[in-house]
Amino acid sequence: MPGVPKSHVYRLLRSGQVRVNGGRIKPERKLVLGEEIRIPPVRLAEKGEAVRPPDKVLNSLRESIIFEDAHYVAINKPAGFAAHGGSGLPYGVIEAMRALNKYDFIELCHRLDRDTSGVLLLAKSRPALLRAQKALKEGTTEKRYFTLLVGKWRGEDRDVDSALISNRLESGERMVEIDDDGKPAKSRFSPKAKYRDATLCEVQIFSGRTHQIRVHALSLGHPVAGDTKYGDRESQKFIKELGLKRMFLHSHLFALPKDGEFPKLLLSAAMGDELRAVLDKLNRQGPVGPAPRARERPRKPR
């Protein structure tokens, strides 16, 4: 069933629509030769066919708009919502914005990881899009994030100026690592609140590479809280016990400089309640957890 999201396949299994020898099965069930499998028909959208997001998603998107003028619209993107569809996802922010049927032209100016929340800017015209792309390419944008890092921070601000390269593992999973042959990437980590076993940092990035903050934080020995791809699960147990169910990474500020007819644009987005609740618990009790241990980065394929 290529193109069908895993979540949908598991839903079919849980609801008993997939049967082996006439009976329900669990996802981990191993098939043996000669068994009869019933799989219900699943219709996928034809290539190029637009998939309309549910009304609940569209209403949530409307409520997440934090800024709009003649040139741009910005949203406070929720975690778990991809910037665009693909890789088994029928839709993302851009497809949902188009489904609103409100804009003659709407395009993403940049992207955020699916698990990252915060400011996401979209252009309402081609000139506005080119203006934003130019600023991103020339590095004249300002991008700042809040992230909770595992471990107690030593000292003050720290810069990481390390090139990054993206690789595909045999499983198809994308992993990013520091490599001199990669693309230039620079991040500045500034501690804002220090707890017993965690540190809230503001991170300014001077480039926009895939998983940049996550990999740069790992290189400092402080993986991002809730990041199961690059962080060690054992060292993050105490964070999970505080109720964190997602990666603690939030884009709180995005700015474009003045450019011709376009005035300076400064956008900010507040952290969601789920992140603030974790910080409140850290402030009240101070978690007790093991020393942070970074997960070994995958080696560069030969």
Q: Which residues are catalytic?
A: 113
| Short-list 81, 194, 99, 208, CA closest to 148 | 194
Pair 78, 272: CB distance under 8 Å: yes
State which amino acid sits at residue 280.
D
Label residue 101 exposed, middle or buried (CB < 10 Å: 0-12, 13-18, 19+): exposed
Joined together, the tokens standing for residue 191 give 């501690």
Number of other CB atoms surrounding residue 249 within 10 Å = 25
| Short-list 232, 119, 95, 210, CA closest to 163 | 210
Starting at the edge strand found earlier in the chain, the sheet holding 23-24 runs 23-24, 19-20, 37-38
Angle in degrees, CA 62, 131, 262, rounded to 5? 80
- Torsion of the alpha carbons at 230, 233, 237 and 242, rounded to the nearest 10: 40
Label residue 54 exposed, middle or buried (CB < 10 Å: 0-12, 13-18, 19+): exposed
Residue with tokens 């549910």: 54
